[in-house]
Amino acid sequence: MQHRRLPPAARSSRLRPHDPSAAPARARPESAAPAQVPSAQPEWRKQRRERRAAAQADERRRLAQRWPLLPRAALPRDDFSVQLAPHGYMEPLLEELGPRVITVRGRLVLAAGTEPAAWAQNVWTAPRWLEAVSIGQAVRALTALQRNWRGHALPDSGHQRRQTLMEAALPHVGARPLSFGEPAPTAPLGAFTLWEHDLLLASPVTTSPFADGEAHFAENRTDPPGRAYLKLWEAFTLDGRWPRPGELCVDLGASPGGWTWVLAGLGARVFSLDKAELAPQVGRLPNVNHCLGSGFGLEPRHVGRVDWLFSDMICYPERLLQIVRQWIEARACAHVVCTLKFQAETDHAVSRAFAAIPGGRLRHLFCNKHELTFIWHEADII
Ligand SMILES: C[S@@+](CC[C@H](N)C(=O)[O-])C[C@H]1O[C@@H](n2cnc3c(N)ncnc32)[C@H](O)[C@@H]1O
């Protein structure tokens, strides 16, 4: 493991604005012609958007065949929940819920019981059916339950316009992106959808303070390398806890440095580890000490007790489970935040093992892809 000291000049300030004179992580050779890049990227993005939309439409058709519309008499009445699948991750949610699944429409999964699934982006925990013979009746029924509602439109339902009119008639609910550090909204936020022309499915209680579980932040597009920093912003905001100034954090799989950038910006001391270098603007930060090496080789005895253990390493979730258990069992950290990254298959057995760790919680963040985020606090062990 190579240990590098930071030059003294780099210790003089905390987070600093992006230095355009600094070498970028992957510099373009001077001879490379940049002229085609600006026009090529929008076309590439457009194609990606189209591919994504086509895949989503395919998935909707497949699910609609597998789960035909239930007759009203067969709709669940009691002890059920609505679990919202993240975009593109319906299968892991259905696999996790297993026999609890009652029916599926769009991204909404009606499931027996109210226990939130880790793969659900938002869970409607108190759903009920409300008559919606007119828009006015629907709005009165919803506002009699509570003030704040956000609609979830079912694609291909044919009722989108009617639902939009209902949303417009409900009291306004602000939805501006959060600045990191602001607390998540605390007011209850209900969710509803127009299931049929004259039938609402509505829940005044949901598990996320954000509409459809989508936590949007005012992004920093200049300082952090990449967008992985948004995962930590979201995890910290939902959890309401993050490192305090001076706390010691170990960041495994830190390159190019988005998480390290967040932690250093909070004033924590960061010991980052990766087989690759950090982006220069992060490596220069005064409270960051980066090592080149494998996170598998770092044991608690090498660093002593730390406040926070982070891992965003690309590794089998089973391997990550061994590492996390080792640190927790050695009482070598007070908090853990890590990402379980799945390959083609979702390893639900390992997810359950993580979820069973006392003091821990497993959830799919809005920013997660085929991943789950595990958050653990020693103080939460009952
Ligand atoms: C998704 S990236 C991490 C992004 C990072 N959290 C950020 O915010 O910029 C995954 C990183 O894991 C690193 N990695 C994979 N296997 C590793 C290992 N055994 N030890 C340390 N780092 C590893 C990769 O080099 C890669 O930089």
CB atoms within 10 A of CB 97: 23
Q: What is the pLDDT of residue 17?
A: 30
The single-letter DSSP state of residue 347 is -
User: Is 190:142 a contact under the CB 8 Å cutoff?
Assistant: yes
Torsion sign across C-alpha atoms 175, 177, 178, 184: positive
- The pLDDT tens digits of the residues spanning 216-262 come to 999 999 999 999 999 999 999 999 999 999 999 999 999 999 999 99
pLDDT digits (tens, 9 = 90+) for 300-321: 999 999 999 999 999 999 999 9
Percentage of the residues of the chain whose pLDDT score is greater than 70? 89
Question: Tokens representing 192?
Answer: 């509803």
Distance 340 CA to ligand 1 centre (A): 12
Residues facing 271 on adjacent strands: 250, 289
Q: What is the pLDDT of residues 338-380, one digit of tens each?
A: 999 999 999 999 999 999 999 999 999 999 999 999 999 999 9
Pairing of strands 306-311, 248-252: parallel
The whole-number pLDDT of residue 26 equals: 35
* Residue the block writes with tokens 């035909």: 68
Choose among 90, 79, 173: nearest CA to 125.
79
Judged by DSSP in three states, 49 sits in helix
Q: Following DSSP, what letter does each residue of 255-301 receive, concatenated?
A: TT-HHHHHHHHTT-EEEEEESSPPPHHHHT-TTEEEEES-GGG--HH
- Cβ(149)–Cβ(138) below 8 Å: no
> In the structure, which protein residues have their CB atom closer than 6 angstroms to any atom of ligand 1?
226, 228-229, 252-259, 273-276, 294-296, 312-315
Residue 350 CA to ligand 1 centre (angstroms): 20
Ligand 1 probe mutation, 290, 298, 312, most atoms within 8 A of CB: 312
For the chain, which domains are there? 77-213 (3.30.2130), 219-380 (3.40.50.150)
C-alpha triplet 377, 285, 311: angle, nearest 5°: 30
**Pairing of the two strands 371-377 and 333-341:** antiparallel
Average confidence (pLDDT) over 38-42: 62
Residue 231 CA: nearest ligand 1 atom is 8
